[in-house]
Structure 1
């Protein structure tokens, strides 16, 4: 089975999100390359979950996702953050009370933001 392993990164100082081109391990520090090499100490690294949403947008760790109204077997439609827990990609609601599988063949998922730029979406404020 072949799968894409990709990362993106959030740089808090510049308030920017970027795709990571290369990762290099130098003297116990991870260096990331996009436009130039940057230390991972200054960056939040997020992994691509290997799937796209209903609009063909790549879904990554830290994205805020809305489940569809076409839920079959899922609970009520919800908005939550994409996380990795015990080897599975999940959507966890804002109160961390409920998590459902990110992957579903019978229900749509849509990326509506991410936890760095759109945290208010988790609180139901749009």
Structure 2
């Protein structure tokens, strides 16, 4: 069974807030309940995929990964019930982490949007 964790891109700051911070943040509880936080402080909730890159770094939705063998960058998305690497092609993220291919987290779409530009 995989560990269930989240992180949130916070527009104010801006910064990425990790799970350890979030579970102790009162406004986050309201956000999770669907309440509207007055200043839209939190922007995007991202789930941990349960997978790690070649360096042992956790992979989340919204991460940008580099598939080493192809020297190509992909955005991690959750689509049709599974985590996928989306870019020039789209494939199961498990493929990029199970030994067939190796990948490395090189950033995310919020802090490093330029990584996905050609």
Bigger share in helix = 2
Give the structure with higher Rg (CA): 1
User: Cα deviations across residues 41-96 of structure 1 (Å, max 9, x unaligned)?
Assistant: 42111100101000100000000001121xxxxxx442111000001111111xxx
What is the TM-score of this pair, normalised by structure 2?
A: 0.78
SS of residue matched to 1:103:
helix
Instruction: Work out the number of aligned pairs and report it.
Output: 107
Structure 2 unmatched ranges of 5 or more: none
Aligned-residue Cα RMSD (Å) equals 2.3
Look up the match of 1:17.
Answer: 16
Distance across 1 between alignment mates of 2:47 and 2:38: 17
1:58 aligns with 2:58: yes
Aligned-pair distance for 1:3? 1.6
Pairing partner for 1:111 from 95, 105, 109: 105
**TM-score (normalised: structure 1):** 0.74
